Amino acid sequence: MPKKILRVNMNNLEAKFEDLPGDYAALGGRGMTSTIVAKEVPPTCNPLGIHNKLVFAPGIVTGTAAPSSGRLSVGGKSPLTGGIKEANAGTPFSQMLARMRIGAIIIEGKHEGHDYYLLKVTMDGGEFINANKWSGKGLYGVYKDLRKEFGEKAGICGVGIAAELLGGNSGVCFADPEGLPSRYAGRGGLGAVMASKGLKFIIVDEAGAPGVEIANQEVFKEGIKKLRDALTSHDVTKPGGALNSYGTAVLVNIINEAGGLPQRNFSSGQDERAEKVSGEAKAEEIKKRGGTRPHFCNPGCIIQCSEVWVKPNGKDPVGVLEYESVWALGPNSGIYNLDDIGELIRACNDLGCDTIEAGGTLGVAMEGGLVKFGDGKGALKLMEEIRNKTPTGRILAQGTEITGKVLGITRIPTVKGQSLPAYDPRAIKGIGVTYATTPMGADHTAGYAIAPEILGVGGTLDPLDPKKAEVSRNLQLATAAVDASGYCLFIAFAILDIPEGLQGVVESLNGVLGANLTVADVAPIGKSIIDTELEFNKKAGFTSLDDRLPEFFLEEKLPPHNTVFDVTDADLDSVF
């Protein structure tokens, strides 16, 4: 049984399988979503209008026995950036699609009227169910209802109240293995695209799925063994290693010590209170409370950087408190209390908000005087404005840039309309180059220069050295290829340092595809994906002037290093 596309027409509520075009056969993940978006979406269209499309695509090895490979790409034209977008999540949902041999789901059209729908996907196709009874409600309660109605083994994808407001702050939410609404393809406002079409949920029932077709089992098995060996021996990714023990928030102390952890809306790069919300402090607290640590976001993950945070009584699980989320809703908002941060993350998950964009929004809202920096309870009240769909809530749902402009703030930390993640580009210059030049808007995962600049992975670079165009470009190309593969980006820590691990990745792809790729093909594959994305953005009206950081990064010195972002425009333009 060959792979299929499920094309979902929201105009007339039809969902039909199509044969996967031959030239799509070797595509997956970001390669698939960006190719389809570039081919089928007019670059100048209104992202919330009838001509935009939302594409879901599992990676090439997703759904197989490959370790840490349960990734899914969601693509479309972003209402936040106005350009092409791929957002990525680790979730059992992706593995189910892959085992059903669904190469992509394409959501197109726009349902007239005010009804929301749930799409149930089975091996026979798609069925639509009215979802109005679940609109306007928090996703924690709704996902419990969906599991009762469709079974605990069903894959769940949905959007929340922020998406109903068509907010640029809204993500696409997938259930974790226990059914919590905590795995997000969060960035770029793609939740609003889904809601704009009248689609509220997708449920996947994989009964009868044939599994992923593997062209050469022997090559595949040899490849995943090499990768598994690399992952289980590298200090960052091995069992008992940094990510396994402390989660992604292990970075809080590291980045704070480097002077690059943005505090209080990017006004400082360091604060001694940050230690209170570090991965180490969090792991200790989870142990005391009876939460879960380590934990996987999808079955088959070796790294297991996830967790389940709970209240002090061990009740009311939130899900994972990722580094970016802890930072955005913590130090960037002047909040240094894990319980306040946990409840803010719960609010984001419940409302369907991207935690990075929400934290950036709170940062400018606090600078604008809506509440004071450090006021965790006040921040929660602002999130309730979104739940209640008040005028203030509607503004906050639109994200950092719009909120900052409405409040008359000049320090607005966005690129291409998207809020910056948890690394200040004045203290870590390479990640600043990535923020400026990726087609995705400010996005740390697009080219993770933190690896060589701070962690000494894949080489060692001085974070304050502005000559970072080449390293950012190389990392962006490699990342695009990883995003297409279905592997978690965190395999990069091991494969950058252990050549056999990278060889194993390539062999595993060859095993699935029946191809003859080599390590030398990785960068060209990534380049072809990014070229497609850059071409879309160019047609949408982007120029080199969009590949810039906000002015304040160039002029305001960041304590403690008291540096500015001094990468030249010529260097930024040389990346692509």
Phi, psi of 92, rounded to the nearest 5 degrees = -60, -25
| Nearest residue to 155 via CA among 108, 197, 207 | 207
Rounded CA gap, 172 and 48, in Å?
15
Q: What is the pLDDT of residue 177?
A: 94
CA distance 337 to 326: 10
**Residue among 13, 27, 236 nearest 108 (CA):** 13
How far apart, in whole angstroms, are the C-alpha atoms of residue 256 and residue 558?
A: 13
Specify the pTM: 0.98
pLDDT by residue, tens only, the chain of 576 residues: 889 999 999 999 999 999 999 999 999 999 999 999 999 999 999 999 999 999 999 999 999 999 999 999 999 999 999 999 999 999 999 999 999 999 999 999 999 989 999 999 999 999 999 999 999 999 999 999 999 999 999 999 999 999 999 999 999 999 999 999 999 999 999 999 999 999 999 999 999 999 999 999 999 999 999 999 999 999 999 999 999 999 999 999 999 999 999 999 999 999 999 999 999 999 999 999 999 999 999 899 999 999 999 999 999 999 999 999 999 999 999 999 999 999 999 999 999 999 999 999 999 999 999 999 999 999 999 999 999 999 999 999 999 999 999 999 999 999 999 999 999 999 999 999 999 999 999 999 999 999 999 999 999 999 999 999 999 999 999 999 999 999 999 999 999 999 999 999 999 999 999 999 999 999 999 999 999 999 999 999 999 999 999 999 999 999 999 999 999 999 999 999
- Angle value at C-alpha 38, between 36 and 42, nearest 5 degrees: 115
Q: At what angle do helices 355-367 and 338-351 cross, to 10 degrees?
A: 120
The whole-angstrom separation of Cα 14 and Cα 145 is 25
R_g over Cα of the chain: 22
CA distances from 49 to 110, 316, 395, 535 (A): 8, 38, 20, 21
Q: Where are the domains of the chain?
A: 4-204
- Identify which of 430, 382, 493, 515 has the alpha carbon closest to the alpha carbon of residue 60: 515
- pLDDT for res 391: 98
Q: Is the dihedral of CA 544, 454, 307, 231 positive or negative?
A: positive
Which distant-in-sequence residues (6+ apart) come within 8 Å of 193 by Cβ? Answer: 47, 48, 52, 54, 76, 77, 78, 79
**pLDDT reported for residue 1:** 82
Residue 85: helix, strand or coil by DSSP?
strand
* First-to-final CA distance of the chain: 40
C-alpha distances in angstroms, 551 versus 220, 426, 439, 541, 571?
49, 12, 19, 21, 17
Give the closest residue to 34 by CA, choosing from 20, 18, 50, 55.
55
Which CATH entry fits the domain spanning 4-204: 3.30.70.890, 3.20.20.70, 3.60.9.10, 2.40.340.10? 3.60.9.10
Q: Is the distance from CB of 258 to CB of 428 less than 8 angstroms?
A: yes
Indicate the SS3 state at residue 90.
Answer: strand
One-character DSSP codes across 487-543 = --TTHHHHHHH-HHHHHHHHHHHHHHHT----GGGHHHHHHHHHHHHHHHHHHTT--
The per-residue pLDDT for 446 is: 97
Report the distance separating Cα 52 and Cα 215, nearest Å: 35
Q: Which secondary structure element, helix H or strand E, spans residue 33, and what is its range?
A: helix 29-40
pLDDT of residue 569: 98
